[in-house]
């Protein structure tokens, strides 16, 4: 097997495994009871408040209690949904790009993203204290789309950079420079 083929297969494997791993994390988070899920996100809120207390001791984030705390808690939960799906969107597009350069089939990672988001929300409907929420699915899909766009930009910029580097090297080789 050629060196470039081995590298290509390795890249495909890494991105595919990352997609599977992230989907597993998403589903693992979905099967947590409402109480366990709330406790996990409360720990994150406390960390955010501790960091905010160091950076801006009198900020509304570091001093949030009562209703303000509930708003912060809800925001962090939504941000977590958005972020985990943004990462999944990135890895789905990078994986797809590792397998093919045909951009006309970019709808396939989108379909996979929507399927995971819908399955995630449906799964939550079977967990005590959790519910299936259409707006959460839209938030998840939005995060995945943002992540996919970021991945497309990195692919495009990487391609431009590689073309520039190859062009510079080819020009230097013609001139007899290393």
| Residues 17, 21, 22, 23, Cα dihedral to 10° | 100
Q: b/e for 39-71, b at 16 or more Cβ within 10 A?
A: eebeeebeebbeebeeeeeeeebbebeeeeeee
Contacts of 65 (CB under 8 A, 6+ apart): none
Residue 107: closest CA among 143, 145, 139, 136 = 145
pLDDT digit string, tens, across residues 131-150: 899 999 999 999 999 999 99
User: E strands within the chain?
Assistant: none
pLDDT score of 163: 77
In this model, does residue 124 exceed pLDDT 70? yes
pLDDT score of 54: 93
* Mean pLDDT confidence for 100-115: 85
């Amino acid at each position: 097997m050629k060196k470039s083929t081995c590298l290509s297969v390795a890249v495909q494997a890494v991105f595919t495994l990352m997609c599977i791993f992230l989907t597993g994390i998403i589903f693992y988070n979905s099967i947590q009871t409402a109480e366990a899920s709330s406790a996990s996100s409360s720990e994150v809120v406390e960390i955010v408040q501790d960091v905010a207390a160091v950076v801006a001791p009198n900020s509304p984030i570091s001093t949030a209690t009562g209703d303000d705390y509930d708003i912060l808690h809800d925001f962090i939960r939504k941000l977590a949904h958005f972020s985990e799906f943004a990462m999944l969107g990135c890895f789905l597009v990078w994986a797809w790009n590792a397998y093919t350069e045909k951009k006309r089939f970019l709808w396939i990672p989108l379909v996979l993203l929507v399927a995971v988001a819908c399955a995630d929300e449906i799964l939550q409907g079977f967990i005590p204290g959790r519910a299936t929420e259409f707006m959460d699915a839209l938030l998840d899909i939005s995060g995945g789309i943002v992540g996919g766009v970021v991945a497309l930009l990195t692919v495009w910029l990487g391609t431009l950079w590689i073309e520039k580097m190859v062009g510079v090297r080819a020009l230097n080789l013609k001139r007899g420079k290393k």
